[in-house]
Structure 1
Amino acid sequence: MASVAKLASELIRRPSRAGIDDYRPVLSVLEDWLAARSLPHRRLHGSSGELVGLLVEIPGGRPGTWWALDACVDTAPYGDESAWSFSPTSGDIRGNWLLGRGAADSKLAAAMFCHIAADLMPRAEALHGGLAVLLDVDEHTGGFGGARAYLADPQAARPTGVMIGYPGLDEVVVGGRGLWRSTIAVHAPSGHSGASRTVVGAISRAAHLVRLLDAAELPGADAASGFPLPPKLSVTALHGGQGFSTTPDRCDLNIDVRTTPAFDAYDAETLIRKAVSELDAELPAPKPTEITPVASWPPFRLADDDQPGAALLTAAAEAGLAVRAKTAGPSNIGNLLAAEGIPATAGFGLPYEGLHGIDERAHLAELPKVYSVYQRAVLRLLRAG
C-alpha cells in the first residue's frame, strides 16, 4: 500500500483546482506511472478539444461486459490558505493521515484504482469483458467532461456499471437525488429611489417570488418507493441593482430543486412556473418573468441485487466491514450515468476530514482493507462474465 500512498502524494503536490489550474501536470504524473507499467491508456478530450481526463482499458480474454472504476483528479479550491495548518499541496503523511487537497476527493482513489488495474493486467486473459479506469479532471466544475467524453467515445466499450471512488468508510452510496435547475429573470419598471411615485422594483418583486417559493409545499419522503429522501427547493443566488439611487428593472435568481422518483423534473418545473404565474398576477410588470432551465438530472437508486452495488457491498461484508447502502442528498456523476442507463455506486473509500474545506486529509490505516474490497468487487464482476 506504500506505492498507492506515494502516487497519491505526487498527485496532491500538483495543484489541479477545477477551473483554476492547468490539469496537464497532474495527468502527466498518471501517464508516467501507467506507461512505466505498460498499462494501456489514452487521453480524453472534450467537445472543444480540451483535455478532460485519461482512460485506462484492460480487456479480458473472454467475452463479457465491461465495468469501470472512476476517480477525479481535479479538486475543489483551497479557500483561505492562511487557515490551513499545512500546505494544501502538502502530500505528506503524518500519523497515518495523508495531507492536502484531493487526499479525500479523490486523488487517493485514483492512485488506488490505477494499482488495481496494474494488479489485474497479468490475469486479464482469464477474465470476462474488461475493466476501464476513468481518471477525469472536469468533475468539480460540475461539467463532468471526463465522464461525458468517455461515454461519447466510439472506441470505448460502454460500461455495464461504474464504481466512483468518493470517500467514506461506513457507506456505499447506491443512489442520489436528482436535480432541476433554472435561472429566473424578474422584471420591473426602473426608477429613482427618491421619486415621489412608488415603484415596485425588480428586487422587491424577486423577494416576493422567494417568499412564494419558500412557502411552496413539497411532498415528503415516499417510503413505499424505496427512496428515503424528500425533494428540496433552494434559492441559491439573487443578483440585481447597483448603487443606491436607482430601483433596478431586472433581478436574476438561481433556483435549485433536488428531485426524487415521486417529484421529478416535470413536477419541479411545474411548481416553479406556478409560483412565477402567481408573482406576475399579484405584482404585474411590463414584462413577464422569464424562466430558463439550465440542468436536469434524474434521481437514481440501485436495488439490493443490482450491480455493481451488490458486488461492492458483498466485498465489504467479506472484509469484515459494517457498511450500509445510502442514498445521497447531493447529486454526483452517478446521476449523469443514471441518465445514460448505467448503474453506479458513488462512494466508498477511506475515512476523511476537511472535504472541500480546510485541512483536507484521508486516513491511511484503512487503505489495505478498502483496496481489497474494490479488488474483490472487480474480480467478482469480471469472473461472472
Structure 2
Amino acid sequence: MTPAQKIEILQQLIQIPSVNAHEAEVADYLASLFAPYPQAKVERLTYAPGRDNLVVTIGDPTGPLLGLAGHMDVVAPGDETAWHHAPFGGEIVGDQLFGRGASDMKSGLAAITIAMLEALEQHQPLAGGVRLLATVGEETGEYGAAQLTDAGYADHLAGLVIAEPSGLDQVVYTARGVIDYKVVSTGKGVHSASPELGVNAITNLMKFYNAVGPMMAQHTQVDPVLGGLLHNVDLISGGEQVNSIPAHAELMANMRTIPAYPNQMLYDELEGLVAKLNQEPGVDLELTYSFPEEAIPGDPQAPLVQLAKQISDQVCGHDTQIVGSGGANDGAEFLRGKGDFTSIEIGPGSNTSHQPDEYISLAAYLQAIDFYEAFVPAFFQSTVVTH
C-alpha cells in the first residue's frame, strides 16, 4: 500500500461524520477494506440502529491473541465558524490533515487497520491472532467496548493496544477511572409566601452538596503517577420561578478515580450519604450513575509496556516515556474480559483533540503504521504473552 493510499483511507474516515452516532458508516467502510481477504473474519455487533461495533480477526487462531482497539465515534465539531478547515473535509495543508477525529482517534484507528491489511496483503505469517476491536460510543461512555466485552470478544487476549492519541513518544500504562453521577431532589412546590406548606427541593439538594465535598476530601491517598481522587460538582439546576418553592432540583458531578479507591467503595459512600439524608423529614433524594469506569492500575515494567517502548524507540528514534493518563479509555471495559492481560495506549495524535481545526501530522500518522507493523511480529516473537 502506498503512502497516498494510506492517507486516502484516513481522509475517507474523517469524511464520515460519526458524531456520537452513525458509527455503522465507519464500520461499513472498514469492513469493505477487508472484503478482498476471505481469511479475515469480519463480525459486527449492533449497539443501536446505525451504531455497529466491528470486530476483525486475522492470523493463527491457535496462537496468542493480540487486541488492537480504537473507537469510531467523534465529538461534535461545535461552532463550525471557529474552524478554518471543514470539520469533515479531510483537507491536507502541508504535513497536516485537518478534520474532526484526525487526532482523536481516526488516525490511530486507520493506522491499526492498515497494519492488519498490509499483513494480509503481504501474506505475512503470524504466530498468533490479531483482533481489531472498533467500538461505538467511547466519547460518551465506552458502551461499545462494554458490549463487546460482555459478548466475549476480549476474553483471553494476550495483550491489548489501544491506539488513542498518546503520541508515539508515550506509552500509557495506567489511567484514571470515572464516575459521573446525578442526584435528583424531589420536593413540594407551593407559593413562596407559604413555605411551610411545601418542601424546598433546592434546600434538600444542598444538604447533599454540602456533605459530599468534605466526605470525598477525606480520601487523601495520592497515586504517584495519576495523582489524587478528583470530585467536582459541575451542574446544578432547580426551581421554576422566583416566587415559588421549588419542587425539583438536581446536580451532576464528575469523579476521576485512582486505583487506591475502587468505584464500588465510592458507590457505597455516595449511596450511604443519600440514604442517611433521606431519613430526614421531607428529604427525597435519588442517586443515579452514567457509564462509570474503573481506574486501570497497570505496571510500568509489564512486558507489553516495555516492548511498546522498545519498538517505538527503534521506529521513531526517540526516548519513549512510560506515563499515566488522567482520562478514561475503552481499556477499562475490555479488562473485564476473561483472562489476565495488559492494556496500553499508544497512538498518533496532536494537542488539538476536541478543538477546532483538529489535525494530525501525516508524518506521525505514517510512522504510527510503521510502529504497529513492527510491534505485531515482535509481540509474537517475545515473551510478552501473559495469559
TM-score by length of 1: 0.86
Q: Does the 8 A contact of 1:105 with 1:166 survive in 2?
A: yes
CA-CA distance at 1:308 after TM superposition: 2.9
Q: Give the 3-state SS of the residue equivalent to 2:228 in structure 1.
A: coil
> 1:296 Cα shift?
3.8
Q: Secondary structure at the match of 1:254?
A: strand
Which consecutive residues of structure 2, in runs of 5 or more, have no partner in the other structure? none
Which whole-Å CA distance do the structure 2 matches of 1:15 and 1:54 have between them? 17
Please report the RMSD computed on the Cα atoms of aligned residues, expressed in angstroms. Answer: 2.8
**Mapping of 1:255-334 within 5 angstroms?**
255-273=253-271, 275-276=273-274, 279=277, 284-319=280-315, 320-334=317-331
Residues 281-319 of structure 1: per-residue CA shift (max 9 Å, x gap): 7xx442442333444432113213324322211211223
CA shift at 1:165, angstroms? 0.8
Q: Give yes or no for the alignment of 1:184 onto 2:183.
A: yes
Match of 2:141 in 1: 142
Counterpart for residue 31 of structure 2: 31
Q: Are 2:71 and 2:109, in contact at CA under 8 Å, matched by a contact in 1?
A: yes
* Alpha-carbon separation, structure 2, partners of 1:12 and 1:249: 46
Answer yes or no: is the 8 Å Cα contact 1:44–1:149 preserved in 2.
no
Deviation of the 1:164 alpha carbon: 0.8
Structure 1 residues 9-49: Cα deviation after superposition (integer angstroms, max 9, x where no partner): 01111211113xx3343333222222245562424223667
> Per the alignment, in what secondary structure is the counterpart of residue 189 of structure 1?
coil
SS at match of 2:237: strand
User: Equivalences for 1:105-124 in 2 at 5 Å?
Assistant: 105-121=104-120
Give SS of 2:35's match: helix
Distance 2:164 2:76 in 1: 17
- Whichever residue aligns with residue 118 of structure 2, its letter is D
Aligned counterpart for 2:229 among listed residues 228, 231, 236: 231
The answer (yes or no) to whether the contact 2:24–2:53 under 8 Å persists in 1 is no
Question: 1:122 and 1:46 mapped to 2: Cα distance?
Answer: 28
Alignment of 1:336-351 (within 5 A): 336-340=333-337, 341-346=340-345, 348-351=346-349
C-alpha distance after superposition, 1:95-150 (max 9, x if no partner) = 211110111111111221121112222676743221011222332231432x2343
SS of 1:214's partner is helix
Deviation at 1:234, TM superposition (A): 1.9
2:107 is paired with a residue whose SS is: helix
Distance 1:304 1:250 in 2: 48
Q: Is the 8 A contact 2:162 2:347 kept in 1?
A: no
- The aligned residue for residue 209 of structure 2 is 210
Residue 110 of structure 1 aligns to a residue whose secondary structure is helix
Choose which of 339, 344, 359 in structure 2 pairs with 1:361. 359
Q: Which residue of 2 aligns with 1:171?
A: 170
Give 1:88 deviation, angstroms: 0.5
| Whole-angstrom CA distance in 2 between matches of 1:66 and 1:196 | 65
Give me the whole-angstrom Cα distance separating, in 2, the residues matched to 1:193 and 1:72: 50
Aligned partner of 2:5: which letter? S
Please, which runs of 5 or more residues in structure 1 have no aligned partner? none
- Corresponding position: 1:44 with 2:44: yes
Q: Shift in Å at residue 50 of structure 1? A: 6.0
Does the aligned pair in 2 maintain the 1:178–1:260 contact within 8 Å?
Answer: yes
Q: Does 1:80 align with 2:79?
A: yes
Q: In 1, Cα distance between the equivalents of 2:183 and 2:85? A: 42
Identify the residue that residue 55 of structure 1 maps to in structure 2: 55
Residue 330 of structure 2 aligns with an amino acid whose one-letter code is: I
Query: Paired residues, what number?
Result: 376
When residues 155 and 325 of structure 1 are mapped into structure 2, their CA distance, relative to the original with a 3 A threshold, is closer
Q: 1:97 to 1:285 in 2, by over 3 A?
A: farther
Identity across the alignment (%)? 21
Aligned position for 2:20: 18
Q: Deviations over 1:200-254 (max 9, x none)?
A: 621233234223223332433445xx65421111223333322333222232222
What is the CA–CA distance in structure 1 between the aligned matches of 2:247 and 2:184, rounded to whole Å? 10
Q: Judging changes above 3 Å, is the alpha-carbon distance between structure 1 residues 157 and 118 closer, same or farther for their aligned structure 2 residues?
A: farther
